[in-house]
Each structure stands twice: as structure tokens, then as C-alpha cells.
Amino acid sequence: MKIDKVDKNSPEMTGFIRWHSDAAEKIYNLAFNDLLFRAHSVHRAHFDPNAVQMSRLLSIKTGGCAEDCGYCSQSAHAPTGLKASKLMEVERVLEEARKAKAGGATRYCMGAAWRSPKDRDMEAVLAMVRGVRSLGLETCMTLGMLTPAQSDALAQAGLDYYNHNLDTSERFYGEIITTRTFADRLETLANVRDAGLKVCAGGILGMGETTDDRISMLVTLANLPVPPESVPINMLIPIPGSKLADAPPVDPIEFIRSIALARILMPASHVRLSAGRTEMSDEMQALCFFAGANSIFVGETLLTAGNPGEDKDAALFRRLGLTPMQPDVGA
């Protein structure tokens, strides 16, 4: 297929459509320049191409998780050597959030290594949401599976986003996680959406999945009743002691193709270049931004993994002429 210009009336330029895997596969396999041109055109039609949303992630409860996600350092099932900690004090979370805001973050993401939150933890978690929001930051949480009642409580406290990644395709899911199902994931996403929260859901590349699995995961996300507002695409950071410790690295071109496909399938979503940026060159990140990524995590750690520091990101932004995107919430 040859692409000289992008049809401004095509579905991805005008709004949401339901995607079929065959159509997505054809797009994924376009000549690289054609794919990038199409993805970048979609990106420009929906966003300022030089603005990047900046999130900061804090682990509010680390390690000892009952789930067996093969990619994770925090699973109690894997001998990764990570020490488990209790839920952080609310005031400490707010202290960290103030620092994040001073460092330029506009969204504050709080993650707890739980299968699902216990009722006894909800009071503290809700206080964190209220406190962080009162600082004028967008709030996001990732706490595992949620019931409708927990989703409602978080929405009422002012939570903006709930993160719950699909991780991979339905077909490949059981190879990576056995303690819950793909359907469980979709159920929490539905609970969160029904509560009126914005959804952050994406996945991880480099876990041994096929290209079809990657495409299938993106098609599932795009075909949710409302596509996620935020789509984190992670590159696996192999964790010593985890099931995926020896997973081979993802081909950078394949990774960029996946970002481009995410942009085309979900034109109005923020596509986040998430974990794995420490392993990416500036040039690879630049191509990801061109292909439609417009969100990153800032700060030196991501839950338990490394991340480029603020100085490195500031230098990259200067080189590329990128600017931080303004948040949606008032102070």
C-alpha cells in the first residue's frame, strides 16, 4: 500500500471506530515511512505535536504482592530480592507529590502492589487522592482489581485516572499471569469506567509475545466501549529472579511500529512511553514521539525500576523542542 497523503475524513482522523485485527495488521506492516507519516498526521490532528504530558509515579506500597505477573519485581512468587513495605503514610505521599509538582510533573500516579485493595486501606488511599488533587495535580492510582463500590469511592474522592494495564493479548495472557484472567482485567476496567473515572490501560512489549499479540492487545484497547484516555506502552525491563529475567530485548523498530499503531487506533488518547526508556537512545525516543507518543514518566524511578532522571529528560526536551503539556485540573 502506498501512502502519499492522509485522508482528513478517514475514521482515525475524525474520531473513534471499531477496529478489526486484519486492518490493524495491515497498518502495522506498512512501509516504515508510510506508517510514521500516517501516525504523525493522526497525532497532529488531535494534539500539539510538541507537547508531552509528564507524570510522576510513586510506589505507595511496595512488594509482597499475591499476584504472579511474570514481569514484575514485586510478586511474592518470584525470588527478586525486593523487600516488602507497608502502605506509606498519607503525609509522606503528599510530601513527595509536592516535590513532583515542583519538578514539573502534572499528573501524580500512585501504585500499590496489591491484588486488590482491602477495605481497611481505602480510607488512607482516599485521603491521598484528595490531598494530591488539592495540590493542583491530576491524580492516578493503580491498586489492582477494584469492585464497583471501590471505584465509586475513588471517583468521589476526586481521582482522575485509574491505571489497570491489559499487559498483553488475551491469547498470551496465561503465559505471563496465572493468578487472574484477562476477563478479570476487563471487569475492573468496566467498573472504573462505570464510576466515571478516566482509564489508563496499556501493556508491555518484550515478554515473548508475537507481533499478532501486540496488535491484538492494541485492538482490544481501542475497541473498549470508550478507548482509554491514557495508553502506557512499556518495554520490558527484565528483572533478575523473575520469570522473564532472560527475555530477549524488543527490536526498536517493532517497538516504534507499536507506538504508531497505538496512535492510529486511539487517536485522541495520550500514548505514554513508559518503562524501558533507560534502554532507549534519544533517537529511538524521538521517533516514538514522532510516531505519536505524547506522555512520559519523569523521575529517577518507576515503582522499582530505573527511569532517566529529570536532567536527562530536560536535555532531550531541549534537543527536540518539546514542551510539557499543561494539566486538566485547576489548582
CA atoms within 13 A on the CB side of 206: 24
272 carries a ligand binding annotation = yes
Residue 140 is among the residues annotated as catalytic for this protein: yes
For the chain, the C-alpha Rg in angstroms (whole number) is 19
- Which grid cell sits at 253? 523498530
Distance linking the first and last C-alpha atoms of the chain: 48
Tell how strand 138-142 and strand 107-112 pair up: parallel
Q: Identify which of residues 286 and 305 has a Cβ nearer to ligand SF4 in the complex.
A: 305
Q: Identify which of residues 166 and 322 has a Cβ nearer to ligand SF4 in the complex.
A: 166
Strand partners, 195: none
Distance of alpha carbon 142 from alpha carbon 303, whole angstroms: 11
Distance of alpha carbon 238 from alpha carbon 70, whole angstroms: 10
Fill in the per-residue mask, 116 to 155: x = in contact with ligand SF4 (CB under 6 A), - = not in contact.
Answer: ----------------------------x-----------
Residue 109 is among the residues annotated as catalytic for this protein: yes
Tell how strand 107-112 and strand 51-61 pair up: parallel
Single-letter amino acid, residue 327 = P
288 carries a ligand binding annotation = no
Q: Which of 57, 109, 113, 204 binds ligand SF4 (CB under 6 A)?
A: 113
Which one is catalytic: 38, 180, 200, 277?
200
Looking at residue 47, the DSSP 8-state letter turns out to be: S
User: Does 67 participate in binding ligand SF4 (rule CB under 6 A)?
Assistant: yes
Stretch that binds ligand SF4, among 71-79, 82-90, 191-199, 280-288 (CB under 6 A): 71-79
Stretch that binds ligand SF4, among 24-32, 67-75, 198-206, 290-298 (CB under 6 A): 67-75
User: Does 189 participate in binding ligand SF4 (rule CB under 6 A)?
Assistant: no
Q: Identify which of residues 74 and 269 has a Cβ nearer to ligand SF4 in the complex.
A: 74
* Residue linked to cell 504472579: 68
Catalytic positions: 65, 69, 72, 109, 140, 200, 272
| Residue list for the binding site | 65, 69, 72, 109, 140, 200, 272
